[in-house]
A and B are shown apart, each in its own frame.
Chain A
Amino acid sequence: MNPAITVEHLTKSFGGRKAVDNVSFALPQGAFLSVFGPNGAGKTTLLRMLATLARPTEGTVTLAGINLKEEPERAREAIGLISHNPMLYPDLTAEENLLLYAKLYGVRDPQRRVIELLDAVGLKHRRLDRVRTFSRGMTQRVSIARALVNDPSVVLLDEPYSGLDPHAMRIFDELIASVRADRTFVMVSHDLDKGLALASHVLVLARGRVVHFGEKDQMSPDEFADLYRTTVGMGVS
Protein backbone atom coordinates (compact mmCIF):
# COMPACT_ATOMS: atom_id res chain seq x y z
CA MET A 1 0.00 0.00 0.00
CA ASN A 2 1.23 3.53 -0.82
CA PRO A 3 2.03 5.74 2.16
CA ALA A 4 -0.64 8.42 2.74
CA ILE A 5 1.94 11.20 2.48
CA THR A 6 5.42 11.02 1.01
CA VAL A 7 7.68 14.06 1.18
CA GLU A 8 10.98 13.87 -0.69
CA HIS A 9 13.78 16.44 -0.53
CA LEU A 10 11.28 19.25 -0.08
CA THR A 11 12.76 22.73 -0.18
CA LYS A 12 11.13 26.16 -0.19
CA SER A 13 13.25 29.26 -0.65
CA PHE A 14 12.23 32.89 -0.21
CA GLY A 15 14.92 34.88 -1.97
CA GLY A 16 18.19 33.40 -0.74
CA ARG A 17 16.71 32.03 2.52
CA LYS A 18 15.60 28.41 2.75
CA ALA A 19 12.46 28.26 4.93
CA VAL A 20 12.24 24.50 4.39
CA ASP A 21 15.46 22.72 3.52
CA ASN A 22 15.61 19.19 2.07
CA VAL A 23 12.84 17.69 4.22
CA SER A 24 11.90 14.04 3.63
CA PHE A 25 9.53 11.69 5.44
CA ALA A 26 6.74 9.20 4.75
CA LEU A 27 3.53 8.70 6.75
CA PRO A 28 1.29 5.65 6.69
CA GLN A 29 -2.47 6.02 6.35
CA GLY A 30 -4.14 6.81 9.67
CA ALA A 31 -0.99 8.32 11.19
CA PHE A 32 -1.05 11.54 13.22
CA LEU A 33 2.10 13.57 12.71
CA SER A 34 2.85 16.40 15.14
CA VAL A 35 5.35 18.92 13.79
CA PHE A 36 7.32 20.86 16.40
CA GLY A 37 9.97 23.51 16.19
CA PRO A 38 10.76 27.08 17.21
CA ASN A 39 9.21 30.09 15.49
CA GLY A 40 10.59 30.40 11.97
CA ALA A 41 11.60 26.72 11.79
CA GLY A 42 9.55 26.25 8.61
CA LYS A 43 6.59 24.36 10.12
CA THR A 44 3.84 26.49 8.58
CA THR A 45 5.66 26.70 5.23
CA LEU A 46 5.85 22.89 5.19
CA LEU A 47 2.13 22.65 5.97
CA ARG A 48 1.26 25.19 3.26
CA MET A 49 3.15 23.10 0.71
CA LEU A 50 1.27 19.97 1.84
CA ALA A 51 -1.97 21.95 1.43
CA THR A 52 -0.99 23.06 -2.13
CA LEU A 53 -1.07 26.70 -0.98
CA ALA A 54 2.66 27.13 -1.64
CA ARG A 55 4.73 25.64 -4.42
CA PRO A 56 7.95 23.87 -3.48
CA THR A 57 11.18 25.29 -4.86
CA GLU A 58 12.55 21.74 -5.03
CA GLY A 59 11.39 18.26 -4.09
CA THR A 60 8.07 16.47 -4.28
CA VAL A 61 5.02 15.80 -2.14
CA THR A 62 2.84 12.80 -2.93
CA LEU A 63 -0.59 12.19 -1.41
CA ALA A 64 -1.72 8.58 -1.90
CA GLY A 65 0.39 8.37 -5.04
CA ILE A 66 -0.70 11.74 -6.48
CA ASN A 67 2.05 14.25 -7.09
CA LEU A 68 0.92 17.63 -5.73
CA LYS A 69 2.93 19.57 -8.26
CA GLU A 70 1.49 17.71 -11.25
CA GLU A 71 -2.13 17.25 -10.13
CA PRO A 72 -2.86 19.80 -7.41
CA GLU A 73 -6.61 19.99 -8.14
CA ARG A 74 -7.02 16.22 -7.78
CA ALA A 75 -5.08 16.22 -4.55
CA ARG A 76 -7.18 19.08 -3.14
CA GLU A 77 -10.24 16.85 -3.25
CA ALA A 78 -8.72 14.85 -0.39
CA ILE A 79 -7.24 17.65 1.75
CA GLY A 80 -8.80 19.54 4.65
CA LEU A 81 -7.01 22.40 6.41
CA ILE A 82 -7.79 23.80 9.83
CA SER A 83 -5.74 26.82 10.83
CA HIS A 84 -6.01 29.77 13.20
CA ASN A 85 -7.66 31.53 10.24
CA PRO A 86 -11.22 30.13 10.09
CA MET A 87 -11.60 30.80 6.32
CA LEU A 88 -15.25 31.71 6.91
CA TYR A 89 -17.12 34.73 5.57
CA PRO A 90 -18.29 36.74 8.61
CA ASP A 91 -21.42 38.09 6.89
CA LEU A 92 -22.67 34.66 5.84
CA THR A 93 -24.35 32.27 8.25
CA ALA A 94 -22.64 29.09 9.42
CA GLU A 95 -24.88 27.09 7.09
CA GLU A 96 -24.23 29.37 4.10
CA ASN A 97 -20.46 29.17 4.65
CA LEU A 98 -20.50 25.38 4.75
CA LEU A 99 -22.86 25.15 1.75
CA LEU A 100 -20.46 27.34 -0.21
CA TYR A 101 -17.56 24.96 0.40
CA ALA A 102 -19.73 21.84 -0.04
CA LYS A 103 -20.77 23.03 -3.52
CA LEU A 104 -17.20 23.96 -4.46
CA TYR A 105 -16.09 20.42 -3.57
CA GLY A 106 -19.00 18.82 -5.44
CA VAL A 107 -20.64 17.25 -2.38
CA ARG A 108 -23.59 15.19 -3.68
CA ASP A 109 -26.15 16.27 -1.09
CA PRO A 110 -24.71 19.51 0.28
CA GLN A 111 -27.64 20.49 2.51
CA ARG A 112 -27.68 17.12 4.26
CA ARG A 113 -23.90 17.05 4.68
CA VAL A 114 -23.86 20.57 6.14
CA ILE A 115 -26.58 19.84 8.68
CA GLU A 116 -24.79 16.61 9.63
CA LEU A 117 -21.51 18.47 10.21
CA LEU A 118 -23.11 21.33 12.12
CA ASP A 119 -24.78 18.74 14.32
CA ALA A 120 -21.41 17.04 14.86
CA VAL A 121 -19.76 20.27 16.00
CA GLY A 122 -22.75 21.14 18.21
CA LEU A 123 -23.85 24.21 16.28
CA LYS A 124 -26.93 23.03 14.42
CA HIS A 125 -29.08 25.35 16.55
CA ARG A 126 -26.95 28.34 15.43
CA ARG A 127 -26.82 27.40 11.74
CA LEU A 128 -28.77 30.47 10.61
CA ASP A 129 -26.65 32.94 12.60
CA ARG A 130 -23.92 34.95 10.95
CA VAL A 131 -20.39 33.80 11.72
CA ARG A 132 -19.60 37.39 12.79
CA THR A 133 -21.74 36.83 15.89
CA PHE A 134 -19.82 33.69 16.99
CA SER A 135 -17.16 33.44 19.70
CA ARG A 136 -13.64 32.34 18.73
CA GLY A 137 -14.33 28.79 19.93
CA MET A 138 -17.59 28.55 17.99
CA THR A 139 -15.95 29.93 14.86
CA GLN A 140 -13.22 27.32 15.18
CA ARG A 141 -15.85 24.60 15.44
CA VAL A 142 -17.48 25.80 12.21
CA SER A 143 -14.00 25.89 10.72
CA ILE A 144 -13.53 22.21 11.62
CA ALA A 145 -16.84 21.44 9.90
CA ARG A 146 -15.62 23.41 6.86
CA ALA A 147 -12.40 21.41 6.72
CA LEU A 148 -14.32 18.13 6.87
CA VAL A 149 -17.04 19.03 4.36
CA ASN A 150 -15.32 17.07 1.55
CA ASP A 151 -14.65 14.08 3.85
CA PRO A 152 -10.86 14.50 3.43
CA SER A 153 -8.43 11.62 3.87
CA VAL A 154 -5.65 14.04 4.87
CA VAL A 155 -6.34 16.71 7.51
CA LEU A 156 -3.80 19.46 8.09
CA LEU A 157 -3.89 21.48 11.31
CA ASP A 158 -1.95 24.73 11.66
CA GLU A 159 -1.82 25.88 15.31
CA PRO A 160 -5.47 24.88 15.77
CA TYR A 161 -5.47 25.69 19.50
CA SER A 162 -4.40 29.28 18.93
CA GLY A 163 -6.81 31.63 20.73
CA LEU A 164 -8.98 28.85 22.19
CA ASP A 165 -9.94 28.74 25.88
CA PRO A 166 -9.58 25.41 27.78
CA HIS A 167 -13.24 24.52 27.24
CA ALA A 168 -13.00 25.13 23.50
CA MET A 169 -9.75 23.12 23.43
CA ARG A 170 -11.51 20.16 25.04
CA ILE A 171 -14.35 20.34 22.49
CA PHE A 172 -11.77 20.56 19.72
CA ASP A 173 -9.95 17.45 21.02
CA GLU A 174 -13.23 15.53 21.17
CA LEU A 175 -14.08 16.54 17.62
CA ILE A 176 -10.70 15.49 16.29
CA ALA A 177 -10.98 12.16 18.13
CA SER A 178 -14.41 11.56 16.61
CA VAL A 179 -13.18 12.01 13.03
CA ARG A 180 -9.76 10.44 13.40
CA ALA A 181 -10.47 6.95 12.07
CA ASP A 182 -8.61 6.15 8.79
CA ARG A 183 -7.63 9.77 8.23
CA THR A 184 -4.04 10.98 8.18
CA PHE A 185 -3.33 14.11 10.22
CA VAL A 186 -0.45 16.56 10.17
CA MET A 187 -0.51 19.14 12.96
CA VAL A 188 1.81 22.07 13.51
CA SER A 189 1.82 23.12 17.15
CA HIS A 190 3.85 24.82 19.84
CA ASP A 191 1.96 22.92 22.52
CA LEU A 192 4.23 19.98 23.30
CA ASP A 193 1.77 18.17 25.60
CA LYS A 194 -1.16 18.45 23.19
CA GLY A 195 0.95 17.52 20.19
CA LEU A 196 2.45 14.45 21.87
CA ALA A 197 -0.89 13.30 23.26
CA LEU A 198 -2.41 13.16 19.77
CA ALA A 199 0.62 12.02 17.78
CA SER A 200 1.57 8.66 16.38
CA HIS A 201 4.59 10.23 14.65
CA VAL A 202 6.71 13.25 15.50
CA LEU A 203 8.71 15.62 13.32
CA VAL A 204 11.00 18.26 14.80
CA LEU A 205 12.23 21.04 12.55
CA ALA A 206 14.86 23.70 13.14
CA ARG A 207 16.16 26.19 10.59
CA GLY A 208 14.03 24.44 7.97
CA ARG A 209 15.77 21.07 8.45
CA VAL A 210 14.63 17.82 10.03
CA VAL A 211 16.13 17.37 13.49
CA HIS A 212 14.08 14.30 14.34
CA PHE A 213 11.42 12.18 12.63
CA GLY A 214 9.97 8.91 13.86
CA GLU A 215 7.19 7.15 15.69
CA LYS A 216 6.32 8.76 19.00
CA ASP A 217 7.07 5.57 20.95
CA GLN A 218 10.71 5.59 19.86
CA MET A 219 11.43 8.20 22.50
CA SER A 220 10.23 8.76 26.07
CA PRO A 221 8.39 12.04 26.77
CA ASP A 222 11.35 13.26 28.87
CA GLU A 223 13.86 12.49 26.11
CA PHE A 224 11.60 14.25 23.67
CA ALA A 225 11.22 17.30 25.92
CA ASP A 226 15.04 17.52 26.15
CA LEU A 227 15.35 17.29 22.37
CA TYR A 228 12.68 19.95 21.92
CA ARG A 229 14.36 22.35 24.37
CA THR A 230 17.65 21.92 22.53
CA THR A 231 15.89 22.51 19.20
CA VAL A 232 14.17 25.68 20.38
CA GLY A 233 17.61 26.96 21.32
CA MET A 234 18.75 26.49 17.73
CA GLY A 235 16.74 29.52 16.59
CA VAL A 236 15.23 30.31 13.21
CA SER A 237 16.31 29.53 9.65
Chain B
Amino acid sequence: MTDREGMRSALCKAPSTWTQYKTLLAKDLKAEFRTKDMVVSMGIYAFLVIVVFGVALSFARPGAEFLEVSGGLLWALVVFTSLLGLNRSFAKETENGCLEGLLLAPLDRGVIFLAKATSNLVFLALVEVIAVPLYWMFFSSFAAPAETGWLLVVPLVLGSIGIAGIGTMLSTITAATRGKDVMLALLFVPVIFPLLYACVSATTCALVGGDVFADGFLTSLALGAGYDVVMILASWVLYDFVVN
Protein backbone atom coordinates (compact mmCIF):
# COMPACT_ATOMS: atom_id res chain seq x y z
CA MET B 1 0.00 0.00 0.00
CA THR B 2 1.31 3.47 -0.89
CA ASP B 3 1.34 6.67 1.22
CA ARG B 4 -2.02 8.23 1.89
CA GLU B 5 -3.39 11.79 1.82
CA GLY B 6 -6.13 11.39 4.41
CA MET B 7 -8.30 8.52 3.21
CA ARG B 8 -7.08 8.78 -0.36
CA SER B 9 -4.09 6.83 -1.62
CA ALA B 10 -1.25 8.89 -3.09
CA LEU B 11 -1.97 6.95 -6.31
CA CYS B 12 -5.23 8.88 -6.66
CA LYS B 13 -6.24 12.52 -6.95
CA ALA B 14 -9.64 14.05 -6.25
CA PRO B 15 -11.76 12.67 -9.09
CA SER B 16 -13.30 15.29 -11.39
CA THR B 17 -17.06 15.11 -11.89
CA TRP B 18 -16.67 15.86 -15.60
CA THR B 19 -14.19 13.00 -16.03
CA GLN B 20 -16.52 10.65 -14.14
CA TYR B 21 -19.44 11.69 -16.37
CA LYS B 22 -17.40 11.15 -19.55
CA THR B 23 -16.12 7.80 -18.26
CA LEU B 24 -19.60 6.48 -17.47
CA LEU B 25 -21.02 7.72 -20.77
CA ALA B 26 -18.14 6.19 -22.73
CA LYS B 27 -18.70 2.90 -20.90
CA ASP B 28 -22.37 2.77 -21.97
CA LEU B 29 -21.63 3.77 -25.56
CA LYS B 30 -18.72 1.32 -25.90
CA ALA B 31 -20.71 -1.61 -24.49
CA GLU B 32 -23.70 -0.85 -26.73
CA PHE B 33 -21.78 -0.23 -29.94
CA ARG B 34 -19.95 -3.49 -29.32
CA THR B 35 -23.08 -5.61 -28.88
CA LYS B 36 -25.68 -3.36 -30.58
CA ASP B 37 -28.40 -5.37 -28.85
CA MET B 38 -30.36 -2.36 -27.57
CA VAL B 39 -30.21 -0.16 -30.69
CA VAL B 40 -30.88 -3.05 -33.08
CA SER B 41 -33.86 -4.35 -31.10
CA MET B 42 -35.27 -0.82 -30.78
CA GLY B 43 -34.74 -0.23 -34.52
CA ILE B 44 -36.44 -3.48 -35.53
CA TYR B 45 -39.30 -2.78 -33.15
CA ALA B 46 -39.75 0.75 -34.56
CA PHE B 47 -39.79 -0.63 -38.10
CA LEU B 48 -42.42 -3.23 -37.17
CA VAL B 49 -44.61 -0.57 -35.54
CA ILE B 50 -44.47 1.46 -38.78
CA VAL B 51 -45.45 -1.67 -40.74
CA VAL B 52 -48.39 -2.27 -38.39
CA PHE B 53 -49.48 1.37 -38.79
CA GLY B 54 -49.28 0.84 -42.56
CA VAL B 55 -51.52 -2.23 -42.42
CA ALA B 56 -53.93 -0.55 -39.99
CA LEU B 57 -54.36 2.47 -42.27
CA SER B 58 -54.17 0.66 -45.61
CA PHE B 59 -57.92 0.78 -46.25
CA ALA B 60 -58.40 4.40 -45.21
CA ARG B 61 -58.92 7.01 -47.92
CA PRO B 62 -56.01 9.42 -48.39
CA GLY B 63 -56.73 12.95 -47.20
CA ALA B 64 -55.81 15.81 -44.96
CA GLU B 65 -57.12 14.09 -41.80
CA PHE B 66 -54.08 11.81 -41.93
CA LEU B 67 -51.90 14.74 -40.98
CA GLU B 68 -53.96 15.32 -37.85
CA VAL B 69 -53.43 11.77 -36.54
CA SER B 70 -49.90 11.29 -37.83
CA GLY B 71 -48.32 13.32 -35.00
CA GLY B 72 -49.97 11.04 -32.44
CA LEU B 73 -48.87 7.92 -34.30
CA LEU B 74 -45.29 9.17 -34.46
CA TRP B 75 -45.27 9.62 -30.70
CA ALA B 76 -46.83 6.20 -30.13
CA LEU B 77 -43.87 4.85 -32.11
CA VAL B 78 -41.35 6.85 -30.04
CA VAL B 79 -42.88 5.97 -26.64
CA PHE B 80 -43.14 2.21 -27.26
CA THR B 81 -39.67 2.04 -28.79
CA SER B 82 -38.12 3.98 -25.92
CA LEU B 83 -39.83 1.72 -23.36
CA LEU B 84 -38.10 -1.25 -24.92
CA GLY B 85 -34.71 0.46 -24.72
CA LEU B 86 -35.17 1.82 -21.20
CA ASN B 87 -35.99 -1.63 -19.85
CA ARG B 88 -32.78 -3.00 -21.33
CA SER B 89 -30.53 -0.09 -20.41
CA PHE B 90 -30.68 -0.64 -16.68
CA ALA B 91 -30.64 -4.43 -16.92
CA LYS B 92 -26.96 -4.14 -17.88
CA GLU B 93 -26.24 -2.33 -14.62
CA THR B 94 -27.88 -4.97 -12.44
CA GLU B 95 -26.11 -7.85 -14.21
CA ASN B 96 -23.01 -8.91 -12.21
CA GLY B 97 -23.80 -6.29 -9.55
CA CYS B 98 -22.27 -3.53 -11.68
CA LEU B 99 -24.46 -0.84 -10.13
CA GLU B 100 -22.99 -1.64 -6.71
CA GLY B 101 -19.54 -1.21 -8.21
CA LEU B 102 -20.51 2.30 -9.32
CA LEU B 103 -22.13 3.09 -5.97
CA LEU B 104 -18.91 2.11 -4.20
CA ALA B 105 -16.96 4.73 -6.15
CA PRO B 106 -16.59 8.25 -4.72
CA LEU B 107 -18.98 9.91 -7.14
CA ASP B 108 -22.18 11.89 -6.87
CA ARG B 109 -25.16 9.66 -7.73
CA GLY B 110 -26.45 12.47 -9.93
CA VAL B 111 -23.49 11.83 -12.26
CA ILE B 112 -24.65 8.23 -12.77
CA PHE B 113 -28.10 9.58 -13.65
CA LEU B 114 -26.81 12.18 -16.11
CA ALA B 115 -24.50 9.72 -17.87
CA LYS B 116 -27.19 7.05 -18.14
CA ALA B 117 -29.80 9.58 -19.34
CA THR B 118 -27.35 10.88 -21.97
CA SER B 119 -26.59 7.39 -23.28
CA ASN B 120 -30.31 6.58 -23.41
CA LEU B 121 -30.86 9.81 -25.35
CA VAL B 122 -28.09 8.91 -27.82
CA PHE B 123 -29.58 5.43 -28.43
CA LEU B 124 -33.09 6.83 -28.85
CA ALA B 125 -31.81 9.53 -31.23
CA LEU B 126 -30.00 6.91 -33.31
CA VAL B 127 -33.19 4.91 -33.70
CA GLU B 128 -35.16 8.06 -34.51
CA VAL B 129 -32.65 9.02 -37.21
CA ILE B 130 -33.62 5.82 -39.03
CA ALA B 131 -37.26 5.45 -38.00
CA VAL B 132 -38.50 9.03 -38.53
CA PRO B 133 -37.50 9.26 -42.24
CA LEU B 134 -39.20 5.88 -42.79
CA TYR B 135 -42.28 7.18 -41.02
CA TRP B 136 -42.13 10.40 -43.09
CA MET B 137 -41.96 8.46 -46.35
CA PHE B 138 -44.83 6.26 -45.25
CA PHE B 139 -47.16 9.09 -44.23
CA SER B 140 -46.26 11.43 -47.10
CA SER B 141 -47.71 8.77 -49.43
CA PHE B 142 -51.10 9.33 -47.74
CA ALA B 143 -51.01 13.13 -47.40
CA ALA B 144 -48.36 15.75 -48.07
CA PRO B 145 -47.18 17.50 -44.87
CA ALA B 146 -47.16 21.31 -44.75
CA GLU B 147 -44.00 23.30 -45.45
CA THR B 148 -43.49 23.57 -41.70
CA GLY B 149 -43.40 19.76 -41.46
CA TRP B 150 -39.63 19.60 -40.98
CA LEU B 151 -40.09 21.48 -37.70
CA LEU B 152 -41.29 18.23 -36.14
CA VAL B 153 -37.60 17.79 -35.34
CA VAL B 154 -37.98 20.37 -32.52
CA PRO B 155 -40.65 18.51 -30.49
CA LEU B 156 -38.84 15.28 -31.31
CA VAL B 157 -35.65 16.59 -29.66
CA LEU B 158 -37.57 18.05 -26.73
CA GLY B 159 -39.60 14.88 -26.19
CA SER B 160 -36.60 12.59 -26.52
CA ILE B 161 -34.69 14.54 -23.87
CA GLY B 162 -37.64 14.25 -21.48
CA ILE B 163 -38.21 10.57 -22.24
CA ALA B 164 -34.51 9.75 -21.69
CA GLY B 165 -34.33 11.72 -18.43
CA ILE B 166 -37.57 10.61 -16.83
CA GLY B 167 -37.24 7.10 -18.27
CA THR B 168 -33.77 6.69 -16.75
CA MET B 169 -35.09 7.62 -13.33
CA LEU B 170 -38.09 5.28 -13.61
CA SER B 171 -36.08 2.38 -15.03
CA THR B 172 -33.77 2.68 -12.00
CA ILE B 173 -36.78 2.47 -9.69
CA THR B 174 -38.28 -0.54 -11.48
CA ALA B 175 -35.01 -2.42 -12.13
CA ALA B 176 -35.19 -4.26 -8.83
CA THR B 177 -38.93 -5.00 -9.00
CA ARG B 178 -40.63 -8.17 -10.10
CA GLY B 179 -42.32 -7.73 -13.49
CA LYS B 180 -40.15 -4.70 -14.17
CA ASP B 181 -41.16 -4.46 -17.86
CA VAL B 182 -44.82 -3.91 -17.02
CA MET B 183 -43.98 -1.82 -13.98
CA LEU B 184 -41.90 0.61 -16.05
CA ALA B 185 -44.71 1.05 -18.59
CA LEU B 186 -47.25 1.56 -15.78
CA LEU B 187 -45.16 4.34 -14.25
CA PHE B 188 -43.69 5.81 -17.42
CA VAL B 189 -46.80 6.54 -19.49
CA PRO B 190 -48.74 8.45 -16.78
CA VAL B 191 -45.64 10.40 -15.69
CA ILE B 192 -44.73 11.55 -19.20
CA PHE B 193 -48.35 12.26 -20.16
CA PRO B 194 -48.02 16.09 -20.06
CA LEU B 195 -44.83 15.91 -22.14
CA LEU B 196 -46.44 13.49 -24.57
CA TYR B 197 -49.47 15.76 -24.93
CA ALA B 198 -47.25 18.79 -25.62
CA CYS B 199 -45.10 16.93 -28.15
CA VAL B 200 -48.07 15.41 -30.02
CA SER B 201 -49.63 18.85 -30.18
CA ALA B 202 -46.44 20.54 -31.45
CA THR B 203 -45.79 17.75 -33.99
CA THR B 204 -49.34 17.93 -35.33
CA CYS B 205 -49.06 21.74 -35.59
CA ALA B 206 -45.84 21.36 -37.59
CA LEU B 207 -47.31 18.74 -39.96
CA VAL B 208 -50.64 20.49 -40.55
CA GLY B 209 -49.14 23.99 -40.84
CA GLY B 210 -51.07 27.21 -41.55
CA ASP B 211 -53.23 28.65 -38.77
CA VAL B 212 -52.86 25.52 -36.65
CA PHE B 213 -49.10 25.98 -36.64
CA ALA B 214 -49.33 29.66 -35.72
CA ASP B 215 -51.82 28.97 -32.92
CA GLY B 216 -50.25 26.07 -31.10
CA PHE B 217 -46.66 25.22 -32.04
CA LEU B 218 -44.74 27.54 -29.70
CA THR B 219 -47.19 27.15 -26.81
CA SER B 220 -46.87 23.37 -26.97
CA LEU B 221 -43.09 23.58 -27.14
CA ALA B 222 -43.02 25.88 -24.10
CA LEU B 223 -45.12 23.39 -22.15
CA GLY B 224 -42.85 20.51 -23.17
CA ALA B 225 -39.66 22.45 -22.39
CA GLY B 226 -40.95 23.50 -18.98
CA TYR B 227 -41.90 19.93 -18.19
CA ASP B 228 -38.46 18.67 -19.26
CA VAL B 229 -36.63 21.16 -17.05
CA VAL B 230 -38.74 20.48 -13.95
CA MET B 231 -38.78 16.68 -14.28
CA ILE B 232 -35.11 16.25 -15.18
CA LEU B 233 -34.01 18.50 -12.32
CA ALA B 234 -36.28 16.56 -9.94
CA SER B 235 -34.91 13.24 -11.23
CA TRP B 236 -31.32 14.41 -10.80
CA VAL B 237 -31.93 15.61 -7.26
CA LEU B 238 -33.89 12.49 -6.24
CA TYR B 239 -31.53 10.00 -7.86
CA ASP B 240 -29.38 9.62 -4.76
CA PHE B 241 -32.47 8.66 -2.74
CA VAL B 242 -33.66 6.26 -5.46
CA VAL B 243 -30.40 4.30 -5.88
CA ASN B 244 -29.92 4.06 -2.12
Partners in one complex: yes
Known A85-B100, A89-B96; contact A108-B11, beta-carbon cutoff 8 A: yes
In B1-15, the 8 Å CB interface with A consists of: 1-2, 4, 6-9, 11-15
Q: A87-B96, A92-B31, A104-B15 are in contact. Are A153 and B1 (CB under 8 A)?
A: yes
0/1 interface trace, chain A 84-123, chain B, CB 8 Å (1 if under) = 0111111110001000110111111000010000000000
A153 proximity list for chain B (CB < 8 A): 1, 4, 7, 9
A77→B8 contact, CB < 8 A: yes
Docked-complex contact A77 and B106, CB < 8 angstroms: yes
- Would you call B244 an interface residue if the criterion is a C-beta within 8 Å of the partner chain's C-beta atoms? yes
Q: List A179-217 residues whose CB lies under 8 Å from chain B.
A: 179, 181-183
Task: Give CA–CA (A174, B102) in the complex, Å.
Answer: 27
Closest Cβ of chain B to A27, distance in Å, is: 16
Report whether A104 and B31 are in contact in the complex, using a CB–CB cutoff of 8 Å.
no
**Which of B16-24, B70-78, B151-159, B218-226 binds A?**
B16-24
B188 to chain A minimum Cβ distance, whole angstroms, is 25
Taking the closest CB of chain A, its distance from the CB of B11, in whole angstroms, is 5
**Taking the complex as formed, is B95 at the interface, i.e. its CB lies under 8 A from any CB of chain A?**
yes
In the complex, chain A residues whose CB is within 8 Å of the CB of B108? 73
B35 within 8 A of A: yes
Contact residues in A for B100 (Cβ distance below 8 Å): 53, 81, 83, 85, 87
Q: Are A74 and B7 in contact (CB under 8 A)?
A: yes
Of B9, B14, B95, B105, which one neighbours A101 at CB under 8 angstroms?
Answer: B105
The reply to whether the CB of A5 lies closer than 8 angstroms to some CB of chain B is no
A134 nearest CB across to chain B (Å): 11
Whether A150 lies near B96 (C-beta < 8 A) is no
* Cβ–Cβ contact B12 & A108, under 8 A: yes
**B190: interface (CB < 8 Å):** no
Expressed in whole angstroms, the Cα–Cα distance for A150 and B6 within the complex equals: 13
Known: A89-B31, A92-B31, A106-B14. A53 touches B104 (CB 8 A): yes
The yes or no answer to B103 lying at the interface (CB within 8 A) is yes
CA distance A78 to B15 in the complex (A): 13
Q: Are B96 and A74 in contact (CB under 8 A)?
A: no
With A63-B7, A146-B101, A151-B1 known as contacts, the answer to whether A104 contacts B12 (CB < 8 A) is no
Contact A89-B92, Cβ < 8 Å, known A52-B104, A74-B6, A78-B7: yes
Q: Which of A63-87 contact B (CB under 8 A)?
A: 63-64, 66, 73-79, 81, 83, 85-87
Closest partner residue, chain A, to B244 (CB atom):
A55
Closest-by-CB residue of B relative to A113 is B11
Q: Which has the most chain B C-beta neighbours within 10 Å: A73, A76, A86, A106?
A: A106
Total interface residues in chain B, CB < 8 Å: 37
Query: Given that A83-B97, A104-B107 are contacting pairs, would A183 and B1 also be in contact in the complex, using a CB cutoff of 8 Å?
Result: yes
Residues from chain B with Cβ under 8 Å of A49 in the complex? none
Does residue B214 face the partner (Cβ distance < 8 Å to A)?
no
Residues of A within 8 A of B98 (CB): 87-89
Chain B residues near A96 (CB, 8 Å)?
27, 30
**Chain A residues whose C-beta falls within 8 Å of the C-beta of B178 in the assembled complex:** none
Minimum CB distance partner of A78 in chain B: B7
A144 in contact (CB, < 8 A): no
Bound-state Cα–Cα, A152 to B98, Å: 19
B27 CB, min distance to chain A CBs, angstroms: 5
Q: Is B103 touching A151 in the complex (CB atoms < 8 A)?
A: no
Interface string of B207-244 (1 = CB under 8 A from A): 00000000000000000000000000000000000001
B244 pairs with A105, CB closer than 8 A: no
**Nearest B residue (CB) for A109:** B11
Distance from B70 Cβ to chain A, minimum over Cβ atoms (Å): 38
Asked if A66 and B7 sit within 8 Å, CB to CB, the answer is yes
Beta-carbon contact of B1 and A73 below 8 Å: no
Q: Which of A151-185 contact B (CB under 8 A)?
A: 151-153, 179, 181-183
Q: A77-B8, A91-B92, A113-B11 are in contact. List 17 more A-B contacts (CB 8 A).
A: A52-B104, A75-B7, A77-B9, A78-B4, A78-B7, A78-B9, A85-B96, A86-B97, A87-B100, A87-B101, A88-B98, A88-B101, A89-B27, A91-B34, A100-B24, A151-B9, A181-B1
B: which residues have CB within 8 A of A?
Answer: 1-2, 4, 6-9, 11-16, 19-20, 23-24, 27, 30-31, 34-35, 92, 95-98, 100-108, 244
